[in-house]
Each structure stands twice: as structure tokens, then as C-alpha cells.
Structure 1
Amino acid sequence: MAFSVFRFGPLTIPLEQVFLVSKLSYALVNLKPVRPGHVLVATRRPVARFNDLTQSEVLDLFTQAQRVSKVVERVTKAESLTLCIQDGDKAGQSVPHVHLHVIPRFEGDFATNDDIYDALAHQPRVDNHERTPRSPHDMAEEALKLREEIGSQWNDIS
């Protein structure tokens, strides 16, 4: 593979934390997940807002989100999933780069279903130095497990 890092807004994501790559999107593990198994699907091109994506990018983002959803559900044995995009800082977007959250759900994981949105909105921001991020090692292990579950098709770039 010719690349070893991905741009995620102002951040650099190492390949070790990525578990799916397509021509226009990629999937990565989360620095601070709301629930275990909470992952992200992002566009390859750094774009802050959903409406600024091309039609091809929208199609690929949701196609890859569907692929990721199947894998996350299988690996976590989730009963359901929450998929969401926080489009802009007023919507809770903490990284100015279009990305879709894939969050495994289980009965009773939140008091009410919509509490998950409060958890996302009040989750410490990526640039908040007081938060305790996951270790790069833990993130790489999770990405490897998901990559192995996807199999040889984890990298769709020829």
C-alpha cells in the first residue's frame, strides 16, 4: 500500500488504526468510543461538511458504512446499531471532517434511546487535553481484529 497515514481534519491517523479502505472512504477505530465497538467511517478527502461532498463520495461513504455495520454487528454481537453524522460544530462535530459513527447497541445500554445523542454531544472533544485517549496499541489491536474479520477485501484500492 502506497500510503501509511490518513488525514482526519487536523489529525493524522496511522494505517494501524484503519481497518477498511476504499477509493473514497476509510474506516477507523475511535480514540474515545461512546460504547465498545464504536467506530467511524470517514471520507478520504478532508471535507468539513456533508453538503460539500460529491455524489460519488456520499455513495461510497454509505456503502462502506453498510459494510462496516455488518462487521461491527457480527464482532460485537450487537442487537442493533446507531449510525449518525454530526454535521458541523453546532451538531456536536468535534473533528471538522465528514465522518459517520457506527455504534453497537444493546438493550439497556442507555436509559432512553436518545441518550446516545447526549453522550455524543457531551463527549470530550478530540482537542480536549483533559481527556484520556485509548492507547495506540489498543486501537491497533481493535483495527487488526476488524480487518481480519473483513478479510482480504479490507483494502479495496487496486
Structure 2
Amino acid sequence: MAKAVKLLLASLPPSRSPRSAAANYQLRITRASSTSSYTHSKMDSENYTFGPYKIDHKEVFYSTDLSYAMVNLRPLLPGHVLVCPRREVKRFVDLTAEETGDLWLTAQKVGSRLENYHRASSLTFAIQDGPQAGQTVPHVHIHILPRQSGDFEKNDEIYDAINEKEKELSQKLDLDKERKDRSLEEMAGEAAEYRRLLL
């Protein structure tokens, strides 16, 4: 049986081989993300938007040609950040294949570094895709939250907290008296720390 599979694979043209297809896909994704990381000086000169909001470059700590990562105005937990496509896209389904790959590779890299930095044991990655899913900023984004045991009494409460935070941001209401908007200086300081992690 194994000999028959080897013969079948050997008879396929190189580009049709399952291993070759996977390798080609990985190479394409790697090129889209690893070769396009921005330097700090280039990030500092870029303009960033998050739906209708202009984002100060000091809040952005990692960027590629297709995605960027920024600190959160009202983080739920230490290390709660957002990863967004650079192009303003309202729904996940509207991302190109290259944007989707780069977005998730960026989230993977950022999440890994923040989990270590915050001595967390897990990560929550969350996307709210559309208004009925709780999305209030019309720009695809991934919430990344480093998690530790006991950070929420019930694990799924984090999704309610993310939903509430989204509503606050879009309505500019202070529904949660405990969490206040952070100053640009606070967010810039945190972003500077995270930039060093991703060098």
C-alpha cells in the first residue's frame, strides 16, 4: 500500500504533489508576512485608521504591508490588543486570501510574544463579524487577550466583556466606570514596550 502511494505521488507533476502544494502555500504566506514587516521609522510615518477612527502611529506596535497591531484604548486584561487589516474591510469574508493569511500570521506572532511577556498560560483570539455578532466598529479586527487562571470567574464571561467594550467604543459612552480611556501617553508607552518584543 505504501509503495502504491509513493508511486502515485511520484507520477504526479511536482506542482500537483500534496506536499508541493502545501509548501507553495506556506511560501506564499511567508512572503506576504515575513518579508513585509515594517521598521519603526516607517511605522511612525504611516497613517492608520480603525473604521471611522484615526489611530495615532504611537499606538501601533507592529505592522506589515497588509496588517497592523495596536494597543487597546480600554483593555480588558493586560496585553489585550487588536490586530487589523490595513485596508478598511467591514466583514471577514471580504478579506483577500493574502490579507486573511497575513492577519492570522500577525495575530499568531503578536499573541505568542504577549503570552510570554505577560506570563500568561493561554490566549483568547476573538472576532466579532457583523452587527449581530457584536461588531460595532466596521473594520475587521482580532482581539488578542493573554489569559491566566482566574482572570474571569467563568471563562465565557470574556466574550460578554469584549462585546460591552465594543459598544462603549462605538457609542463613546462610559458604561463601565471601572475602565477609563487611557491617555495617548499610556498607550504609546505600552506600544513602545511591545515594539521591543517584536524586533
Identify whether the pair has TM-score above 0.5, normalized to the shorter chain. yes
Q: Determine the C-alpha separation between the residues in 2 that align with 1:43 and 1:88.
A: 16
Q: Are 1:45 and 2:90 counterparts?
A: no
Retained in 2: the 8 A contact 1:94–1:125? no
Instruction: For residues 110-157 of structure 1, give each alpha carbon's deviation from its aligned partner in whole angstroms, at most 9, with x where no partner exists.
Output: 111111111111224213333231110000000000001111xxxxxx
Query: Which of 38, 57, 82 is equivalent to 2:99?
Result: 57
Q: Cα RMSD (Å) of the superposition?
A: 1.3
Q: Determine the C-alpha separation between the residues in 1 that align with 2:105 and 2:49.
A: 20
Counterpart AA for 2:191? A
User: Which aligned pairs between 1:1-80 and structure 2 lie closer than 5 A?
Assistant: 1=42, 3-80=45-122
Query: Which of 80, 83, 87 is equivalent to 2:125?
Result: 83
Identity of aligned residues (%): 46
SS of the residue 1:51 aligns to: helix
> Following superposition, which runs of at least 4 residues in structure 1 exceed 3 angstroms of deviation?
none
User: Which aligned pairs between 1:106-117 and structure 2 lie closer than 5 A?
Assistant: 106-117=148-159
1:154 corresponds in structure 2 to none
Q: Are 1:136 and 2:178 counterparts?
A: no
SS of the residue 1:83 aligns to: strand
Instruction: For residues 57-94 of structure 1, give each alpha carbon's deviation from its aligned partner in whole angstroms, at most 9, with x where no partner exists.
Output: 00000000001011111111111110010111211112
Q: Determine the C-alpha separation between the residues in 2 that align with 1:61 and 1:97.
A: 13
- Where does the alignment leave 5 or more consecutive residues of structure 1 unmatched? 152-158
Q: Determine the C-alpha separation between the residues in 2 that align with 1:98 and 1:75.
A: 25
1:156 corresponds in structure 2 to none
Q: Determine the C-alpha separation between the residues in 2 that align with 1:142 and 1:28.
A: 10
Q: Determine the C-alpha separation between the residues in 2 that align with 1:35 and 1:54.
A: 31
Query: How much has 1:4 moved relative to structure 2?
Result: 3.1
SS of the residue 1:94 aligns to: coil
SS of the residue 2:169 aligns to: coil
The one of the two structures with greater contact order (alpha-carbon pairs below 8 A, sep at least 6) is 1
* Greater share of helix: 2
- Where does the alignment leave 5 or more consecutive residues of structure 2 unmatched? 1-41, 175-179
Residue-pair matches, total: 151
Retained in 2: the 8 A contact 1:4–1:14? no
Greater Rg by CA: 2
Retained in 2: the 8 A contact 1:25–1:57? yes
Query: How much has 1:106 moved relative to structure 2?
Result: 0.7
